[in-house]
Amino acid sequence: MVGCDAYPDVAGADLRGAVSDALAMRTWLLDSSGGGLAMGDLRLLVSTSAEGAKPPEEIVSGEATVRDFLKALGELDRLPSTQDDRLFVYFAGHGCQTDPTNQALSEDAIVFSDFNEYQPQAGCMGISALERRLSAMRYGEFFVFVDACRDFPYASSFQLGGLGYDKAQEKERAYYPRAHVFQATLPGGVARGESTGSGAVSGLFTKWLLDGLRGEGEAKTFNPTTATPRYEVTWDRLRSWVERQLPDQLPRARAEGNPVLSLFDDGWFSDIQLQVNVSPQALSARRDLEMLIEFDSLADPDAGRITATGPTPSCHMVPPRRQRIFARAPGLPWGRQFVDAYVDTVVELTVPEQPSSPSALAVPGGRTVRGVRGLRKAPLSLSVEDPAAVIELVDLGGRRIAAAASILDQEVPAGSYVARVHVPGFPPEEHPVEVLGDMPESCQLRTSPGNHPQVWNGSGRPASTAASAPGLAVCLQTFEGRPATIATISVQHSHNSPSWRVMPERARVPCQQASGGTDTWLSEVSPGDTLQAGGRTVQVPVHPMIHTSVAAPDEAPIVVRLVDRHLVGTVSALLLERAQGFEEAGQPEFCQVLLDQLARRRVESDVASVLRGDSDLTALQQAISSSLARSSPGADMLPGQIWRVTTSLAND
Binding site for other proteins (CB under 8 A): 31-33, 36, 227-229, 264-271, 298-302
Nearest approach in angstroms of CB 209 to other proteins is: 18
For other proteins, which is the closer residue by CB, 14 or 296?
A: 296
Residue 131 CA: distances (Å) to CA of 125, 127, 323, 479, 634: 10, 6, 40, 43, 16
Nearest approach in angstroms of CB 421 to other proteins is: 32
Nearest approach in angstroms of CB 139 to other proteins is: 22
For other proteins, which is the closer residue by CB, 224 or 432?
A: 224
Q: Which contiguous run of DSSP H or E holds residue 416? A: strand 407-422
> What is the rounded distance in angstroms from the CA atom of residue 473 to the CA atom of residue 327?
48
SS3 helix, strand, coil % of the chain, rounded to 5? 20, 35, 45
Nearest approach in angstroms of CB 241 to other proteins is: 17
- Torsion sign (Cα): 623, 179, 239, 21: negative
CB 191 within 8 A of CB 147: yes
For other proteins, which is the closer residue by CB, 270 or 354?
A: 270
Beta strand spans in 438-545 (E):
441-445, 487-494, 500-503, 508-510, 518-525, 530-533, 536-539
Nearest approach in angstroms of CB 176 to other proteins is: 30
Nearest approach in angstroms of CB 33 to other proteins is: 6
Peptide bond into 280 cis (omega under 30): yes
> What is the rounded distance in angstroms from the CA atom of residue 103 to the CA atom of residue 106?
5
Residue 651 CA: distances (Å) to CA of 125, 210, 542, 550, 645: 26, 47, 21, 22, 18
For other proteins, which is the closer residue by CB, 298 or 638?
A: 298
CB 90 within 8 A of CB 181: no
For other proteins, which is the closer residue by CB, 39 or 50?
A: 39
- Bridge partners of 508, per DSSP, are 523
Nearest approach in angstroms of CB 295 to other proteins is: 14
Q: What are phi and psi of 126, to 5 degrees?
A: -70, 140
Q: What is the DSSP letter of 634?
A: -
For other proteins, which is the closer residue by CB, 31 or 604?
A: 31
Residues 6+ apart with CB under 8 A from 476: 511, 512, 513, 568, 569
Nearest approach in angstroms of CB 324 to other proteins is: 20
For other proteins, which is the closer residue by CB, 260 or 620?
A: 260
The SS3 call for residue 619 is: helix
For other proteins, which is the closer residue by CB, 298 or 629?
A: 298
For other proteins, which is the closer residue by CB, 216 or 596?
A: 216
Nearest approach in angstroms of CB 225 to other proteins is: 12
> What is the rounded distance in angstroms from the CA atom of residue 165 to the CA atom of residue 151?
28
Q: Look up residue 313 and give its amino acid.
A: P
Nearest approach in angstroms of CB 227 to other proteins is: 8
Nearest approach in angstroms of CB 215 to other proteins is: 9
For other proteins, which is the closer residue by CB, 39 or 227?
A: 227
For other proteins, which is the closer residue by CB, 214 or 612?
A: 214
CB 489 within 8 A of CB 540: yes
Nearest approach in angstroms of CB 80 to other proteins is: 22
* Burial class of residue 84, CB neighbours in 10 A (0-12, 13-18, 19+): exposed
> What is the rounded distance in angstroms from the CA atom of residue 201 to the CA atom of residue 296?
41
For other proteins, which is the closer residue by CB, 237 or 493?
A: 237
- Torsion sign (Cα): 381, 386, 390, 395: negative
CB 129 within 8 A of CB 69: no
Nearest approach in angstroms of CB 88 to other proteins is: 19
> What is the rounded distance in angstroms from the CA atom of residue 651 to the CA atom of residue 196?
49
For other proteins, which is the closer residue by CB, 57 or 302?
A: 302
Q: Which contiguous run of DSSP H or E holds residue 29? A: helix 18-30
